[in-house]
Amino acid sequence: MKEIYTLSNVSKKYNSLTSETIALDNINLEVKEHEFIVILGPSGSGKSTLLNILSGIDNPTKGKIRFYNQDITKFNENELSKYRKDNIGFVFQSYNLISNLTVKENIELGRELSSEPLNVDDIIKIVELEKHINKFPYQLSGGQMQRVSIARALVKNPKVLFCDEPTGALDEKTGKKVLTMLQNINKEYRTTLIIVTHNPSIKNMANTVINMNSGKIIKITHNIKTISGSDVKWV
Encode pLDDT of 84-98 as tens digits: 999 999 998 788 999
CA dist 108 and 63 (Å) reads: 36
Q: In what order do the strands lie in the sheet with 208-213?
A: 88-92, 160-164, 192-197, 36-40, 208-213, 216-222
Say whether domain 33-57+86-231 belongs to CATH 3.30.365.10: no
Give which of 187, 191, 189, 209 is closest to 200, Cα–Cα: 209
* CA trace torsion 93, 94, 99, 102 (10° rounding): 10
- Give the pLDDT of residue 19: 85
- Give the pLDDT of residue 233: 87
* CA trace torsion 79, 84, 86, 87 (10° rounding): 120
**How many residues make up the chain in this entry?**
235
Encode pLDDT of 148-173 as tens digits: 999 999 999 999 999 999 888 888 99
CA dist 47 and 11 (Å) reads: 13
How far is residue 144 from each of residues 38, 68, 116, 233, measured CA to CA in Å? Answer: 23, 34, 25, 21
CA dist 122 and 155 (Å) reads: 9
User: Band of the pLDDT at 13, cuts 50, 70, 90?
Assistant: very high
Please tell me the pTM assigned to this model: 0.93
Q: Supply the mean pLDDT for the chain.
A: 93
Residue type, 182: L
Q: Give phi and psi for 198, each to the nearest 5.
A: -95, -10
CA dist 15 and 31 (Å) reads: 29
Encode pLDDT of 104-147 as tens digits: 999 999 988 888 899 999 999 989 999 999 999 999 999 999 99
Percent over 70 (pLDDT), the chain: 100
Q: Using an 8 Å Cβ cutoff, are 196 and 47 in contact?
A: yes
